[in-house]
Amino acid sequence: MDIKNIESLLAEKKYDEVRAIINEAVNTKFSETEKGAALAGLASAYMDISNTVNIQYLEALKEAVSGMKKINTAEARSNDNIKLVEIRSKL
């Protein structure tokens, strides 16, 4: 099983082709050495994909937190301005 080929197909979003390769691998009789190599390759591909997803999730989360901080800052300024207007109107 060519893991580099699978990785490039995944990057190109050719999921049907990846699925066909995996189905062929599942239905093919492998020696114990081939099984071990295939499982190691699949584990490696899984970890790479998982890490990529986690990195993208972390980046999106950081952006969301940054956006929330901006909103909180704007809200605090707005509240301060409202309080200032109220105080001025009472004077």
Confidence of residue 91 (pLDDT cuts 50, 70, 90): confident
Q: What is the pLDDT of residue 27?
A: 83
Backbone Cα Rg of the chain: 27
Tokens (6 digits) for 26: 């599942």
Residue 1's pLDDT band (cuts 50, 70, 90)? low
Show the domain range for 66.
3-90
pTM tops 0.85, yes or no: no
Q: Count the domains in the chain.
A: 1
Give residue-wise pLDDT tens across range 4-24. 888 899 889 898 998 998 888
DSSP secondary structure letter of residue 1: -
